[in-house]
């Protein structure tokens, strides 16, 4: 197959009077990624098992209308600030900033109409086998200062990696924390829960949260707790209800090992590396009542798991958390490399 035949663009419906597209990337080994410019999101990921049988391993919907109606962020690029900001308030450059409070009294994933609900511009690069989505977020969007230009690029390689690169620049000081929000189930999106799948996380510490899922500011060791996945363990070994930020060990320049997920039944495995200091692992414990997904499949609690590599939740309000500020002339860059294999 020629590289020029690998990238395909198709209509995916209309949102607020604007046409939306879907895109298809495939590689030499039978992996297929489907994407849409609505939310710069991953809508399907076909991955072979140890017998060569492919299954779609991300949760999602069959059509654009369902994505537009859902608040589950399936596969989306979330921003301008992914995850939570307490009371939607922080201080930037000596002045208080108030952003949308769309999660009770708090800010979550960019606000009422975050980047997940925007139509991005799509650009195909056939030589690289990639799709780049771009979006302009004007000054004051959901309360954030600065005119921000964001990009989210997906590249599928012949060594079975899906590389997601998110970048941004602003004309004013602002905060940025772009997050990729796919829910993964390596047995297949329609296979039930992920509690028996094996998780390994390269983290010795995590950030505990209060009853609103806002970090307390503490940094605690995972040793001796339900958060200790330094060695591979079943997600559900102690209940499986996670929505927390782990602190990546040995963080530094370049891509660092973050986590690995393995499905013993199919043999499918994914290994994640990232440039970011934290990862929010969410096991879909709040999908209740069930959501009707692809093919009419009911997604229930623990039907998938997210790996949202990130700055920490509520970083703008904690001086000892990673700095989420972006200055004019700087470029925010966040890279995730997801490798698929079988064992």
Average pLDDT score over the chain: 96
pLDDT at residue 5 is higher than 60: no
Instruction: Provide the domain limits for residue 154.
Output: 3-342
Residue carrying the six token digits 């499949």:
297
Which of the four pLDDT bands, split at 50, 70 and 90, describes residue 6?
A: low
Question: pLDDT at position 297, please?
Answer: 97
Identify the helix (H) or strand (E) that includes residue 8.
Answer: strand 8-15
Which of the four pLDDT bands, split at 50, 70 and 90, describes residue 4?
A: very low
Q: Which of 142, 262, 276, 308 is catalytic?
A: 308
**pLDDT one-digit tens code per residue, 160-173:** 999 999 999 999 99
pLDDT at residue 89 is higher than 80: yes
Phi and psi torsions of 122, nearest 5°: -110, 140
Q: Which of 109, 181, 189, 262 is catalytic?
A: 181
Which of the four pLDDT bands, split at 50, 70 and 90, describes residue 253?
A: confident
pLDDT at residue 23 is higher than 80: yes
Q: Count the domains in the chain.
A: 1
Listed range (167-176, 200-209, 251-260, 263-272) with the worst mean pLDDT: 251-260
Other Cβ atoms within 10 Å of 187 Cβ, number: 19
Question: pLDDT at position 1, please?
Answer: 34
Residue 191's region, left for phi above 0, alpha for psi from -120 to 50, else beta, is: alpha
Which of the four pLDDT bands, split at 50, 70 and 90, describes residue 316?
A: very high
CATH of the domain at 22: 2.70.98.10
Is 308 tagged catalytic?
Answer: yes
Listed range (75-79, 98-102, 195-199, 288-292) with the worst mean pLDDT: 288-292
Structure tokens at 298: 């009911």
Residue carrying the six token digits 């490798």:
339
For the chain, counts of helices (H) and of strands (E): 1, 30
pLDDT at residue 179 is higher than 50: yes
Question: pLDDT at position 3, please?
Answer: 39
Listed range (1-5, 291-295, 313-317, 327-331) with the worst mean pLDDT: 1-5
Q: Residues 295-303: what's their mean pLDDT?
A: 97
Question: pLDDT at position 56, please?
Answer: 98
Q: Which residues of 90-110 are buried (b: 16+ CB within 10 A; e: fewer)?
A: bebeeeebebbbbbeebbbbb
Q: Residues 282-298: what's their mean pLDDT?
A: 95
Is 181 tagged catalytic?
Answer: yes
**pLDDT one-digit tens code per residue, 65-75:** 999 999 999 99
């Amino acid at each position: 197959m020629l590289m020029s035949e690998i990238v395909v663009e198709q209509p995916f419906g209309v949102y607020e009077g604007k046409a939306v597209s879907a895109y298809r990337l495939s590689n030499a080994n039978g992996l297929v990624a489907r994407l849409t410019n609505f939310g710069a999101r991953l809508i399907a990921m076909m991955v072979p098992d140890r017998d060569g049988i492919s299954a779609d391993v991300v949760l999602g919907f069959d059509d654009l209308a369902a994505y537009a109606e859902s608040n589950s962020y399936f596969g989306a690029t979330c921003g301008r600030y992914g995850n939570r900001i307490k009371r939607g308030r922080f201080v930037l450059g000596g002045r208080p900033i108030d952003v949308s409070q769309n999660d009770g009294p708090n800010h979550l994933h960019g606000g009422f109409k975050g980047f997940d609900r925007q139509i991005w511009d799509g650009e195909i690069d056939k030589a690289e086998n990639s799709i780049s989505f771009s979006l302009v977020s004007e000054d004051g969007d959901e309360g954030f200062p600065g005119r921000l230009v964001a990009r989210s690029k997906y590249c599928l390689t012949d060594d079975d990696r899906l590389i997601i690169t998110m970048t941004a620049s602003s004309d004013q000081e602002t905060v940025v924390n772009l997050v990729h929000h796919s829910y993964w189930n390596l047995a297949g999106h329609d296979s039930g829960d992920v509690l028996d799948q094996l998780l390994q996380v390269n983290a010795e510490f995590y950030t505990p949260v209060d009853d609103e899922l806002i970090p307390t500011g503490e940094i605690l060791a995972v040793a001796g707790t339900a958060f200790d996945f330094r060695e591979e363990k079943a997600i559900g070994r102690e209940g499986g209800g996670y929505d927390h930020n782990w602190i990546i060990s040995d963080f530094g320049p370049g891509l660092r090992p973050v986590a690995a997920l393995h499905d013993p039944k199919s043999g499918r495995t994914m290994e994640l590396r990232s440039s970011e200091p934290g990862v929010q692992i969410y096991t879909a414990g709040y999908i209740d009542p069930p959501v009707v997904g692809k093919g009419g499949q009911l997604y229930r609690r623990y039907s998938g798991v997210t790996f949202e590599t990130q700055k920490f939740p509520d970083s703008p309000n904690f001086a000892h958390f990673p700095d989420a500020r972006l200055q004019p002339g700087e470029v925010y860059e966040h890279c995730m490399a997801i490798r698929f294999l079988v064992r």
